[in-house]
Structure 1
Amino acid sequence: MRHDRSRTYGTGTALGLALAAAGTLALAPAATAVTPGTATLSFDCGSYGSGTATLTATQNGTAATISVSTSAITSPINIGARTVKSTLTLTKNGSGTTQFSGSANPAIPAGSAVSTGPLNGTVAAGDSLQAASLKVVVFGITATCKATSAQTPGPFVF
């Protein structure tokens, strides 16, 4: 009876690779969670309006994103995707600031609330971030919004 060594080695190699991959996945760092995941606050954007905003945060290690949807600014015309440049400034740990920025927005129909993000930023474990202002640039026109309330239910803690 002949023993097929190539099949034995092939099976052993495949099994070894599967176990190595499983071990690597088990050792990979898990995505960490930010709490709360969603918060609301109010913005005053001067002549562009005022209203509420919903902020949604996610975290993966030291990388974090925040998406913003606000009724404080409505679009007078259709705005294409990825054409709104936004910077969200947040108070960091009660003093100092940090910024999240980006140009990732969905298409915004005329008359609709402005949505922007995800805006990218960097965080450290334990960072507590509270929105302070939002700057939105569309077609070279800048709207600067100041937070007029604290985030509810509270600041983002990473």
Structure 2
Amino acid sequence: MSKRIGSGAALLAGALAVTGLAFAPSAAAAVTPTSASITASCGIFGGGAATLTATQSTTDPTAATITLTSSAITTPLALGKNTIASTLTMVNSTGANRVFSGTVNPAMSAGSSITVGPLPGTVAVGDSLTFDGGSLKMVIFGITITCTTTPNTNQTPGPFVFS
């Protein structure tokens, strides 16, 4: 009799576990692709190839960050950590443009590759964001540097799509 009760309890526990999996939340929020290449022109900072890296919060699908890195875009002066006020505007094919902003950067020596971010922003499920037509504004020592898309280039492999 105790074997039957033990076997029954084990079957019940297994059934509950399977039921729990069936009702578990769907996959966490994710952005695809997570990385894209752009070509930008940034005035005195230079221009050329840059990489955008996007992440989307797994707990809040409206929270996302984007980081820009480039060895072609360089800083003419040494800069301390978190001293570049950056505003990244991404064009959204499904609605209003999205803005990612903050003062997040590593310390950089003169002539160093530029890195800004991760810059936080708000997105909606289904947003399709591209730098094409957007901009990155960086304020350094009170001077605004604006990076824009180099004509006739596209973000590759394509826009960031948030789910």
Q: TM-score, normalised by structure 2?
A: 0.75
- Looking at structure 2, the residues matched to 89 and 108 of structure 1 have their Cα atoms a distance apart, in angstroms, of 23
Structure 1 runs, 4 residues or longer, greater than 3 Å off = 26-31
For residues 32-74 of structure 1, what are the alpha-carbon distances to aligned partners after superposition, in whole Å with 9 as ceiling and x for unaligned? Answer: 1100000010001134321111000000111000001124531
The answer for the alignment partner of 2:34 in structure 1 is 37
Distance 2:117 2:25 in 1: 27
Aligned match of 1:133 = 135
For the aligned residues, what is the CA RMSD? 2.0
User: Per-residue displacement from partner, 1:85-113 (whole Å, max 9, x unpaired)?
Assistant: 11111111266422111101111122111
Q: TM-score, normalised by structure 1?
A: 0.77
Between the aligned partners of 2:79 and 2:62, the Cα distance in structure 1 is 31
Is the CA contact 1:43–1:72 (under 8 Å) kept in the aligned structure 2? no
Tell me, which stretches of 5 or more residues in structure 2 are unaligned? 1-19
Equivalent-residue separation in structure 2 for 1:70 and 1:135 (angstroms): 15
The range that moved more, 108-117 or 44-53, is 44-53
Matched, 1:64 2:68: no
Pairing of 1:8-157 with structure 2 (within 5 A):
31-60=28-57, 61-93=61-93, 96-131=96-131, 132-148=134-150, 149-157=153-161
Letter in 2 for 1:89: T
Q: Offset at 1:143?
A: 0.6
Work out the percentage of aligned pairs sharing the same amino acid: 55
SS of alignment partner, residue 66 of structure 1? strand
> Is the contact between residue 55 and residue 67 of structure 1 (CA under 8 Å) also seen in structure 2?
yes
- State the shift of 1:28 in Å: 7.2
Gaps of 5+ in 1: 1-22
What CA distance in whole angstroms lies between the structure 2 residues aligned with 1:103 and 1:27? Answer: 37
State which drifts further: 48-57 or 68-77.
68-77
1:54 partner amino acid: T
In structure 1, give the amino acid aligned to 2:62: T
Query: How far off its partner does 1:145 sit?
Result: 0.9
